[in-house]
Structure 1
């Protein structure tokens, strides 16, 4: 599973399958090979829907967008997800 976060507040929006992530990566432009963030707006969601995105992926992106014009989201595999914002990993 892959955790999706809003970049503006590091809030986890939800999780998607590895297949949904593969679809997202194939459909959207990445700035480089290590890019893990995307700008999503209504046009992006409509585009993904027209390309066959799963209902789960579409619902998650819609929830992230809410009533905003657009939102930056990023992802981590659950095994590499960061700790909560402001938490020092060294304790």
Structure 2
């Protein structure tokens, strides 16, 4: 399992499975091979939906985003 956290506050966002993590890695831009954070916005969520990313993961990210314009999430192996 993998945990997601709000990079700015450190708040726990939720747990995702390895396949869901792989979908994020495949769909979003990484700055390096060791990059473990992603910027999430409403536009990014729409893009992820278009890419067929797991609906549960998108819902989790949408809830974490709330009414903010964007946020950075960081993932950690648990």
TM-score, length basis structure 2: 0.97
Equivalent in the alignment of 2:21? 21
Q: Secondary structure at the match of 2:75?
A: strand
Q: How far off is 1:37 after superposition?
A: 0.3
**Could you say which residue in structure 2 is the equivalent of 1:49?**
49
Larger radius of gyration: 1
Deviation at 1:55, TM superposition (A): 1.3
Q: Whole-Å Cα distance in 1 between the matches of residues 69 and 61 of structure 2?
A: 12
Stretches (4+) displaced over 3 A: none
1:63 Cα deviation (Å)? 1.3
CA deviations over 1:8-66 (Å, ceiling 9, x no partner): 11011101110000010011000000000001000000000011011111011101110
More strand by share: 2
Q: Matches of residues 30-69 of structure 1 in structure 2 within 5 Å?
A: 30-69=30-69
- Structure number with the bigger relative contact order (C-alpha 8 A, sep ≥ 6) is 2
Structure 2: gaps of 5 or more residues: none
**TM-score, length-normalised on structure 1?**
0.83
Residues paired across the two proteins, number: 78
Q: Where does structure 1 lack aligned partners over 5 or more consecutive residues?
A: 79-91
In 1, Cα distance between equivalents of 2:32 and 2:14: 24
